[in-house]
Structure 1
Amino acid sequence: MVRRNPKNPATRNTSRGSNPSASTGGGSGFVRIISGKWRGRKLPVKNVEGLRPTTDRVKETVFNWLAADLYQAKCLDVFAGSGGLGLEALSRQAEHVTLLELDKGAADQIKLNINTLNADNATVVNTDALSYLSQAGQAFDVVFIDPPFRKDLLSDVITRLEKNGWLSPNAMIYIEAEKELGAIDVPVHWDMVKEKHAGQASFRLYQREEE
């Protein structure tokens, strides 16, 4: 069952969200690892239209929220983009991270960055996230969901994660979405434990409780 919020319907729009820190000029930008074993490392980001890496300020807050949950966790980054969230999780001693990214150039850049870090516990899948999540899956302990803004993707992702076995009984789920979307429809057994807003984005952390 999914919570409904009739006062805050999803906004349908064909434009992507943007973030001024997503890239530097017309060329490739970079993401910085905030903490952990690769603290301070800067890694290149493929210049892809609509790519909107999570800002350092937001990322630091989110990973402070998750500090007690990442050690030896199996993590899934659903819309990996720059790979910044997944790589940060690896730096903070996640056991393994799977990163899903539709754009081949962006996916290839994440793979290069993983090789640069000599990490052998990450898997990058160049795929459409909704198609990938339509199959039966393994359970993940921490899931990052940061879809392109105004594409109306969240509901389908949440449904498929639940329906197809992608979540461990007490999984932590991070969702970043456009602020204008308002409250997000989530299953009744997802408890929101943290919420903040920054710029155009709202970011929330949920904990799943086994039904």
Structure 2
Amino acid sequence: MRLVGGIWRRTPLAVADLGGLRPTPERVRETVFDWLSHLFGTFEGRAALDLFAGSGALGLEAVSRGMAELDAVERDKLQARNILQTVSKLSAGDVVRVHGEDAFGFLSRTTESYDVIFIDPPFALNLQDEAIRKALPRLKAEGILYVERTGARTTEALLNELGLVRLRSTSAGQVDCELLARKASLMAGLAREEKPPKRNMRRERNKEQRE
């Protein structure tokens, strides 16, 4: 497990043997940060929040690529300590703050606002929707939410309820990820129209003939 881009490229990350801990794959991170670079133009002066930080891969990748500030939140003491050790090794303590606490507890007390909020809880806990709701007040007007799930995306009903639009989405193996922004933001104008699933025309013609 390592960082894949920026000034700390190839830096290894310690991953504790914990149930449910599933670091975001390197190829997914590469795609996501290509998207973010295109949408933001630059990470200079921007702040990120990595909820459910786990290995710290998403947040540290952001800082490696130029993000100015990072709050990484991880309630597991061992994994939070691993992130702190990596931060110390990289001499990044002036940029990265590690919080060994529950993600929702952190959101309830912080007054900071962020350009990017990474939401990637253990899939089995199914906390994504709750995290989107509670993180949204801490997102800047032109900010972006990154959400990772398996086998699904954020429903259109929830997007409409919260006034969000999907900017980008992709799938890789068991990972489904997306970038969300406020519908009222300028960022929403950069949403890429998603192609409908490909239809198997031969199968449909055969079905019609049988009927």
User: In which range does the TM-score fall when normalised by the shorter chain?
Assistant: 0.7 to 0.9
| Partners of 1:78 and 1:101 within 8 A in 2 | yes
1:207 match: 181
2:8 match: 38
> What is the alpha-carbon distance in structure 2 between the residues aligned to residue 126 and residue 107 of structure 1?
6
Query: Between Structure 1 and Structure 2, which shows a larger proportion of strand residues?
Result: 1
Q: Considering only aligned residues, what root-mean-square deviation do their CA atoms show, in Å?
A: 1.7
Q: Which has the larger radius of gyration?
A: 2
> What is the alpha-carbon distance in structure 2 between the residues aligned to residue 182 and residue 174 of structure 1?
11
| Partners of 1:130 and 1:156 within 8 A in 2 | no
With the length of structure 2 as denominator, give the TM-score of the two structures: 0.79
- Structure 2 segments unaligned to the other structure (5+ residues): 186-211
Percent identity between matched residues is 36
Name whichever of 75-84 and 201-210 sits farther off.
Answer: 201-210
1:48 match: 18
Give a deviation string over 1:88-134, Cα, whole Å, max 9, x none.
Answer: 00101101000010100000000000001111200010111112212
Give the drift of 1:191: 1.5
1:3 match: none
1:147 match: 121
Aligned: 1:177 with 2:149: yes
> What is the alpha-carbon distance in structure 1 between the residues aligned to residue 97 and residue 66 of structure 2?
15
Give the drift of 1:144: 0.5
Q: Which has the higher contact order (CA 8 A, sep 6+)?
A: 1
| Partners of 1:33 and 1:39 within 8 A in 2 | yes
> What is the alpha-carbon distance in structure 2 between the residues aligned to residue 136 and residue 123 of structure 1?
13
Give the drift of 1:137: 2.4
| Partners of 1:169 and 1:209 within 8 A in 2 | no
SS of equivalent to 1:44: coil
> What is the alpha-carbon distance in structure 1 between the residues aligned to residue 57 and residue 153 of structure 2?
25
Give a deviation string over 1:47-77, Cα, whole Å, max 9, x none.
Answer: 2222100001111000101114323210000
| Partners of 2:117 and 2:135 within 8 A in 1 | no
| Partners of 2:52 and 2:103 within 8 A in 1 | yes
Give the drift of 1:157: 1.2
With the length of structure 1 as denominator, give the TM-score of the two structures: 0.79
Please tell me the residue identity of whatever aligns with 2:149. Answer: A
Query: Between Structure 1 and Structure 2, which shows a larger proportion of helix residues?
Result: 2
Call closer, same or farther: CA 1:200–1:35 in 2, change over 3 Å: same
Aligned: 1:80 with 2:50: no
| Partners of 2:73 and 2:98 within 8 A in 1 | yes
